Structure 1
């Protein structure tokens, strides 16, 4: 998998949720902070104002997309002067997202239609790429811009406005598309906002991006600083310096961390024997893998699987017998 797809697959927890909401003016609602979630708002009809925790309200119009990756609270209202009521609808908590479809304070003013919702993220598996994102990402609608994102918004809006057969499968898939298109649009626009830093700069740097792509597409390969440097087209020393400066970790440290992150996901989502999990992420020794995993997660891989697995315990196949220590390069 590529870097962005990998990050989302690793951090996502549970099914994304959303609702198609018609607001009748005057209206205003507070959306409380939610640790371990990322929220979004898409304006399908009318206009409104997003009220951040600090700073001036943000004017939103048809086609605008707002993404809040860190779960900070905010308000949404038809006017900056409209009081914000306590939540009447929270798609992340409501068991039936369609219950939000008629939310809005009684009124005879203009109608605003929004798609609101969010994604549950596991804070214990936070990736620095998402940590680097700002508290608020606003992607205003512009003619000819973000056509893929707008297409996903249109499809999602239609599925929620008039639910049809297959919606329970289509809507989560469209929400995943929406998230990836939002992040892709933000990273592609990043150079317009001035010099990139952190992960935005790493992904924009052809050399470092090539090395990251190699790690994420084949975490089990016997990568070394030299082989990754050759993939990046740099000398060992130059590659190590640039990678560390942009990513915030040395190549070896990031490679080990990512391998163990992938291993943890594999333990949760499959019944593969521990020896096979170890080999998938570049360890030729189950013993070495178990020790590295325990250092990172403070628990043995077998116990981690029993505590977090998404499969019945009786279906788990025991791993192979441990062998002597053999750390990957």
Structure 2
């Protein structure tokens, strides 16, 4: 249930709030001449903003590489190993070892002012690891945003500022980079046409997008597929088929899964009684909520809350 019912529902903001996106390391790199670096699997969101020259990114398992030209951005969340190179025919060196001794968040080699010189900003956004399945549902494995895309200019400016702030000793730098990370991710994910299928495509769909906003705007409501179809001017069968095609599950399955995500967040962060959480999420009783939560999470709400408190006590924030 939203705190301000007069405001329109914003599913993307809802999702990013659960992901708790924050900043990580950033690298400003200039180089000249041919090179190829191999990087291992990774547990966070990676980004590349190409400022000058051409860069190829070959993700393991993909038939074709991404070609990044000046102004392009690439967001990567698949976690698959990849090669970044100006020449993919070269034998790739160990990229992690290459940058292991790096200090100051900047790297230069060769002659970056040569005709084949290049410049880029690369780095990562970290997120709540317990929400990886949500990240995988929302963010495509790789999202290439070309220079002529609507979001590209703002995204490049944000990532450039991010690169300057990341690792800086200035007061408040971490707060600034965390904010920039969230804003940059929003800019990337709301690019029109950025995703052709999946949750982002569903949100942009003229029929399924409104259905998602209805579910996020009132998760406590006892929605039926008939009601959603009526509100979105679709037939029941057309809505169900299109929703499943884009989102990967039926509308009421999605509603149930979203309620459980909200429940886990509340149990982790609040001392709210279980009965109040149950009411907030539209359950007729605490026992009905507890049964649904146990089916979803494998443990009763009270046990889940206690477990999270123990984990938090053993791993206090740094």
What band does the TM-score fall into relative to the shorter chain?
0.7 to 0.9
Matches of 2:234 and 2:118 in 1, distance apart?
A: 56
The correspondence for 2:110, drawn from 104, 107, 110, is: 107
Partner of 2:77: 69
Unaligned 5+ runs, structure 2: 1-8
Cα 1:247–1:101 shift into 2, 3 Å: closer
Partner of 1:291: 291
Structure 1 outlier segments of 4+, above 4 Å: 235-238, 309-313
Helix, strand or coil at the partner of 1:16: strand
Q: Does 1:176 align with 2:179?
A: no
Contact 1:20-1:115 within 8 A present in 2 as well: yes
Partner of 2:57: 50
Helix, strand or coil at the partner of 2:272: coil
Q: Deviations over 1:251-299 (max 9, x none)?
A: 2222111111111122222222222222221113111111100001111
Matches of 1:155 and 1:86 in 2, distance apart?
A: 28
Q: Deviations over 1:208-255 (max 9, x none)?
A: 211210111221233333432332233545544443344332222221
Partner of 2:6: none
Contact 2:29-2:120 within 8 A present in 1 as well: yes
Unaligned 5+ runs, structure 1: 314-329
Displacement of 1:112 in angstroms is: 2.7
Contact 2:145-2:194 within 8 A present in 1 as well: no
Two-structure CA RMSD over aligned residues (Å): 3.4
Partner of 1:304: 304
Question: TM-score with structure 1 length normalisation?
Answer: 0.76
Cα 1:305–1:74 shift into 2, 3 Å: same
Displacement of 1:175 in angstroms is: 0.7
The correspondence for 1:6, drawn from 14, 18, 25, is: 14
Question: TM-score with structure 2 length normalisation?
Answer: 0.79
Contact 1:57-1:80 within 8 A present in 2 as well: no
Q: Does 1:141 align with 2:153?
A: no
Q: How does 1:1-329 map to 2 (within 5 A)?
A: 2-12=10-20, 15-26=22-33, 27-34=35-42, 36-53=43-60, 54-88=62-96, 99=103, 101-103=105-107, 106-108=109-111, 110=117, 112-120=119-127, 122=129, 126-127=133-134, 130-131=136-137, 134-142=140-148, 146-160=152-166, 164-185=170-191, 188-190=192-194, 196-309=196-309
Matches of 1:145 and 1:111 in 2, distance apart?
A: 22
After TM superposition, the structure 1 stretch with the greater mean CA deviation from structure 2, 38-47 or 69-78, is 38-47
Contact 1:88-1:103 within 8 A present in 2 as well: no
**Highest RCO, 1 vs 2 (Cα 8 Å, sep ≥ 6):** 2
Cα 1:268–1:102 shift into 2, 3 Å: same
Q: Deviations over 1:136-179 (max 9, x none)?
A: 32212128663432332243234348663321101011111111
Matches of 1:166 and 1:287 in 2, distance apart?
A: 46
